Amino acid sequence: MRRRRDTPRTDGGARREPAAEALERRYRRLLAWYPAACRAANADDMLGVALARSAPGQRWPEPGEAVNLIVSGIGERLGGMLRQPDHRDTAAVLAIAGPLLLAAAAVRTMASPFLFTPTIAVLAAPQRTLVTAIAFAAWWTLVALAGMLRWRRVAATGACLGLAGQVVMLTLAVSGYAGALMVAYWQAAVALVAAASALGSLRSQDRPLSWRAATALTAAAAILAGWPAVEVATVTYSPITANSGTISDPLSGIAGWLNDGLFASILILMLAAIAALRPAVRRRAAVLLLPAFVTTALACWGFRGFLPGGLPFGLLMLSPFQWQVLVLVPVIGMVAGFIGLRFYERLLRRRGP
């Protein structure tokens, strides 16, 4: 067995921390990546092994060893979370809700009245948009169904492939207008959550959604998807020349009210679906959905660019600051939500059953 030698050195008279102490301190810092329970059980033993492996006079952990400890620590944390039934069941719920939302969004694009209005349709490249939307709607519906039927592997594989598709759409939208970009952005974010949740719920056994929750979610998705279809039915286009015409929309006067009302209905139905979950799952689902709500509000009212179908209205590009906000807000929202959840559950445990 190799032995470490402590080699205390001095620099210009100032006392320098001995190599062994410095190395141990740095290894302890790396072990902080592990969950507390894991550290309590193994930290001393692990530290002994890590230090025994080190060379004499070594002050810093080897890069490979450091990366291995960080990756293993994160793996333990994630694995520990997924071993808890509450986390697994929450993941199973999101593995259905995410694809359902994405399917509804795709149907919404398909039914967009703009695709049926020839003058605007030329700008929107309808054929490609329509085919892509049909493909995404069918795909995400199948993934949601697989999740509901508890075909976990099928749902996970489908969600990962769907995520790849949404990332491709996001990449194509990066150089485009803010409206299209933000639609692609939130869809990719939801797909990421759906794929991660589907993978996390692979070992979940229970039926993830009660009938009440499943009905509320499906109704919310149906409203989201169906509203443009109503618009399509009411909007008429009267051509004047080959490239121009007039659009008649009898609902245009109350469109704002209707849109707000329908979004409120969707929100209420989603809250009803969350309320139908058991308390521990409900709390986690709410925390995970919080960034989605915050990002939606930010894009809708903050950026004024959340347009259905990503059509080139509002010809504005995102500024670097807006980009940073768009990326940071959901992350900060989720971290803040989890910190709040941790404190709340600690409080509940203190109060007792």
Residues that bind other proteins (CB under 8 A): 1, 38, 42, 44-50, 52-53, 64-65, 68-69, 71-73, 75-76
Instruction: Please report how close the Cβ of residue 55 comes to other proteins at its closest, in angstroms.
Output: 14
Nearer to other proteins, 32 or 264 (CB): 32
Instruction: Please report how close the Cβ of residue 79 comes to other proteins at its closest, in angstroms.
Output: 9
Instruction: Please report how close the Cβ of residue 95 comes to other proteins at its closest, in angstroms.
Output: 24
Euclidean distance between CA atoms 168 and 342, whole angstroms: 35
Euclidean distance between CA atoms 335 and 343, whole angstroms: 13
For residue 201, the Cα-to-chain-centroid distance in whole angstroms is 15
Instruction: Please report how close the Cβ of residue 135 comes to other proteins at its closest, in angstroms.
Output: 35
Instruction: Please report how close the Cβ of residue 275 comes to other proteins at its closest, in angstroms.
Output: 36
Q: Extract the tokens encoding 156.
A: 């996970």
Nearer to other proteins, 63 or 353 (CB): 63
For residue 246, the Cα-to-chain-centroid distance in whole angstroms is 41
From start to end of 108-185, where are the E strands?
Answer: none
Instruction: Please report how close the Cβ of residue 45 comes to other proteins at its closest, in angstroms.
Output: 5
Q: Which residue has the tokens 């790396």?
A: 30
First-to-last CA distance in the chain? 52
Q: Which residue has the tokens 């302890």?
A: 28
From start to end of 198-317, where are the E strands?
Answer: 236-239, 245-248
The CA-atom distances, in angstroms, between 223 and each of 90, 105, 253 are 24, 10, 20
Residue 139: which of 89, 179, 100 has the closest Cα? 100
What is the sign of the dihedral through the CA atoms of 207, 212, 214 and 217?
negative
Nearer to other proteins, 17 or 44 (CB): 44
Cβ-based neighbour number of residue 10 at 10 Å = 8
Q: Extract the tokens encoding 311.
A: 């059509």
From start to end of the chain, where are the E strands?
Answer: 10-11, 14-15, 236-239, 245-248
Nearer to other proteins, 76 or 345 (CB): 76
Euclidean distance between CA atoms 112 and 90, whole angstroms: 32
Nearer to other proteins, 42 or 296 (CB): 42
For residue 165, the Cα-to-chain-centroid distance in whole angstroms is 15
Nearer to other proteins, 73 or 113 (CB): 73
Instruction: Please report how close the Cβ of residue 68 comes to other proteins at its closest, in angstroms.
Output: 4
Instruction: Please report how close the Cβ of residue 42 comes to other proteins at its closest, in angstroms.
Output: 5
Are the C-beta atoms of 152 and 164 separated by less than 8 Å? no
SS3 content of the chain, % helix, strand, coil (to 5): 75, 5, 20
Instruction: Please report how close the Cβ of residue 71 comes to other proteins at its closest, in angstroms.
Output: 7
Nearer to other proteins, 51 or 286 (CB): 51
